[in-house]
Amino acid sequence: MATDIDRHNEEIQRNLALWRKKPVLQKIYRQMHQEIALELSSDIDGKIVELGSGIGNIKDVIPDCLRTDLFPNPWLDQTENAYALSFDKETIANLILFDVFHHLRYPGTALREFHRALKTGGRVLIYEPYISLLGKLVYGPLHHEPIAWNKKIEWLAPANWSADSVDYYAAQGNATRIFANRRREFASDDWRMIKCTRYTQISYAASGGYSQPQLYPASAYGIMRMLDRGLNVLPSIFATRVLVVLEKT
């Protein structure tokens, strides 16, 4: 019987095949990874680690990044569980989560583990769906994962829970709810929020991503990016992505 992890690995393999067939998708992800790269803490000596690396394309932009996931694949550097990292205390300078945060059933528990492994001044960089008016359409009926907008967020794992019992979870609205809509509530002594930047990415939505048809030719990507930049002035209506940068205090 297939497990949640098995199904997720099958999805990664499908994504890799589509990635190779869609040049525009490669351009889009390169641009998103460049946005992340600009926010890396460069004055701290430590590892750069990505959790949930999927098909592992981040090395095209950040070549010294360690790519990890729950299961092994030939292009990954090692396996990691976000709730129980194998890294020693205070050895990581930057921890990257690209479309991973909304899969964390207990985000507060994961952040505690990130805090342990990060050096003081180290950063967690979270790139996630943003639920604007357009985002509700893009991530609602047009996407297979739930937004879970009104579902209770379980911040900490229960006392009898084990990191080894990780199961499939998805709530695409969590980053918007926690870091954008409740920014003041998130404030803590452990973290300083450096950035919470919303991006319009109609270029990505119209590309079809990994699951839908591409709605514009690859040659029109530059025009679509101009449209994205123009609509960035109205993020509450058009933004579909958010980059959150947390710094360990």
Starting at the earlier edge strand, list the strands of the sheet with 92-98. 78-79, 65-69, 47-51, 92-98, 118-129, 241-248, 191-199
The predicted structure's pLDDT at residue 56:
86
Q: What are the residue ranges of helices labelled H in 119-209? A: 133-138, 174-175, 183-186, 202-205
Helices 23-37 & 4-21 angle (0-180, nearest 10): 110
Q: Which of 119-128, 139-148, 185-194, 229-238 has the lowest mean pLDDT?
A: 185-194
| Cβ-based neighbours of 232, under 8 Å, separated by 6 or more | 198, 199, 200, 238, 239
Q: Which pLDDT score is estimated for 1?
A: 43
Which pTM does this prediction carry?
A: 0.93
Q: For 226-235, what is the mean pLDDT?
A: 97
Cβ atoms of residues 202 and 130 within 8 Å: no
Report pLDDT digits (tens) over 46-99: 999 999 998 889 999 999 999 999 989 899 999 999 999 999 999 999 999 999
Predicted pLDDT at 3:
55
> DSSP states of 75-101 as a string?
T-SEE--TTS-SSPTT-EEEEEEES-G
Q: What is the pLDDT of residue 184?
A: 62
How open is the CA angle 205-133-127, to the nearest 5 degrees? 55
pLDDT at 207 over 90: yes
Q: How far apart are CA 23 and CA 19, in angstroms?
A: 7
Write the pLDDT tens digit of every residue in 10-23: 777 788 777 888 89
User: Is 6's pLDDT higher than 80?
Assistant: no
pLDDT in tens, 107-132: 999 999 999 999 999 999 999 999 99
Identify which of 103, 48, 55 has the alpha carbon closest to the alpha carbon of residue 81.
103
Q: What is the mean pLDDT of residues 235-249?
A: 97
Q: What is the pLDDT of residues 158-205, one digit of tens each?
A: 999 999 988 889 999 999 999 998 766 676 779 999 999 999 999 999
How far apart are alpha carbons 47 and 93 in whole angstroms? 5
What count of Cα atoms within 13 Å lies in the side-chain half-sphere of residue 235? 12
In this structure, of 26-30, 69-73, 201-205, 221-225, the range with the lowest mean pLDDT score is 69-73
Confidence band, pLDDT 50/70/90 cuts, at residue 27: very high
Residue 38 to residue 36: CA distance in whole angstroms = 5
Q: What is d(CA 26, CA 243) in angstroms, rounded to the nearest whole number?
A: 19
Token duo for residue 118: 């990060």
Domains and CATH numbers, the chain: 4-130+149-199+242-248 (3.40.50.150)
Residue 2 has pLDDT above 70, yes or no: no
